[in-house]
Amino acid sequence: MSKTPQAADRGRHELWIGGRHVAPASGEYFEDLNPQDDSVLARIAAATMQDVDTAVQAAQAAFGSYGRTLAAEREAWLSRAAGIMESRRQALVDLLIDEVGSPVGKAQFEVQYAIGCLRAAAGAARRVTGQTLPSDMPGRFSMSVRQPLGVVAAISPFNVPLLKNAKLTSTPLATGNTLVLLTSEEAPLIAHALADIYREAGLPDGALNIVTGFGDRIGDALTTHPLVKAVMFTGSSRVGKHIAALCGAQMKRVILELGGKSPLIVLADADLEQAADAAAFSVFFFQGQACMAASRIYVERPVYEPFCTLLKARAEAHGLGDLRDPQTWIGPIISERQRRRVRHHIEDAVAKGARVLTGGSWSGNRCRPTILLGVEEGMTVCREETFGPVTSIYPVDSADEAMRRARDTPYGLSAAIHTRDINKALPMALGINSGMVHINAPTIHDEPHVPFGGTGDSGFGREGTDIDIDTLTEWKWITVQLPMTP
């Protein structure tokens, strides 16, 4: 596949530390690949543990002054950053297409979300407020204030890199913290594009630092650094548990947004066309590389066959053409390692008796939308997250069975329920062990200000501008003994 003009080699990129480009201590660089054809986009600095320490030290040095900036200043920097991002919308869309294989619709959504995230965080700067409190001591004035923590470590994924980079940096900055961002090795250019936006917006040097490289080599050096006060991580459950153990031993705050095996339930009284549209979006958005993807669909038997027919038709209608064509839904799987995972899940299921309703084949680095029937325990895809355009449909005899099976997982990120009966839907929504439940909508949805996150193996804590204020600041109680009046 030939490169588009936007996919031309973008050269070599250093680390971003203390407001300047810094070469890696090792002098080593790695190749950032275009997942459409695995051609080289750029050569990226491979940070070492020494570089991580340099970045954290720069963030700590900047915190001395940044932590005392006015809310109005932080609000202005973030607002300007949102405006600059809006002016660079098309360039960012192109970068998301080329670096991570985003279809244009997904790329446009992601840029718009990131703009909204910056604006929401700008508003949060003025909501870092305390309280005046009644005291039991005569003449004592009692108040509580919030103070920023210090250096925050943010570790972001490849699948929505601009969205997550904006989300994991904007509220920490709004609350007066400084940051070291370790971005996915598969999306470093997008992180550098965001850093350039912040720089142009006037963000002080050292408030945001970016290290690029491989998490298995430098991740622990960042999360365990004694100057890092909180860690925000988005990625796999396996790595998230490892980070939680490290942070727990050091009494650090940690926010983990991890994997999922999200259920979508279709009851017999559902609007099947709406349910099929929601399921198609939930499964095949960004070729299934989404933690909220509906990889388990439970359908009541009276509507099982017609629902399968409707979802099959939608899967087969999804285009695999030019990523800049709005009709294209399915792009490439990000890496050869992830492609092997997707292939294994499909092949293992088929070898053990599952039937492919549609899909299962590949076009270059793209997996066609795949629906599996007859999936049972013992098949890898039954329990594990695929992170590809693959789902399984299961017939159920009742809403109670659907709920029982939906809850039968260590994950708990997102869920969806389709029914015309709100009296059924609300009790079911309350009963599902999931951080988010959407009624008559897809499992995939997010907004900057909502409490976003999951339970169990899907994570710990929540993201969102309002809840981030509490996570990223420390309460302090202050009293003043006033002179007693006669």
Nearest-angstrom CA–CA distance, 152 and 12: 27
- Reported as type and span, the H/E element at residue 133 is strand 131-133
**Cα–Cα dist 134/137, whole Å:** 9
Torsion of CA 78, 145, 232, 410, to 10 degrees: -130
For 441-456, give one letter per residue: b (16+ CB within 10 A) or e: bbbbebebbeebbbeb
Q: Are 210 and 191 in contact (CB under 8 A)?
A: yes
160 class by beta-carbon count within 10 Å (0-12 exposed, 13-18 middle, 19+ buried): buried
- Which region holds residue 260: left if phi is over 0, alpha if psi is between -120 and 50, else beta? beta
Give the Cα-Cα-Cα angle 164, 72, 134 (nearest 5 degrees): 100
| Given 117, 247, 291, 308, the catalytic residue | 291
What strand order describes the sheet that includes 151-155?
A: 20-22, 15-17, 208-211, 178-182, 151-155, 228-234, 253-257, 459-460
**Residue 297: strand pairing partners:** 264, 393
Annotated catalytic residue: which of 99, 257, 300, 463? 257
The one-letter code for the residue type at 320 is: L
Closest C-alpha to 222, from 161, 156, 166 = 156
Q: Which amino acid is at 48?
A: T
CA-based nearest residue to 292, from 329, 330, 263: 263
Question: Is position 200 annotated as part of the catalytic site?
Answer: no
Contact 13, 189 (CB under 8 A): yes
Tell me, yes or no, if 291 is annotated catalytic: yes
The answer to whether the beta carbons of residues 180 and 56 sit under 8 Å apart is yes
Element (H, E) at 119: helix 104-124
Residues annotated catalytic, as ranges: 257, 291
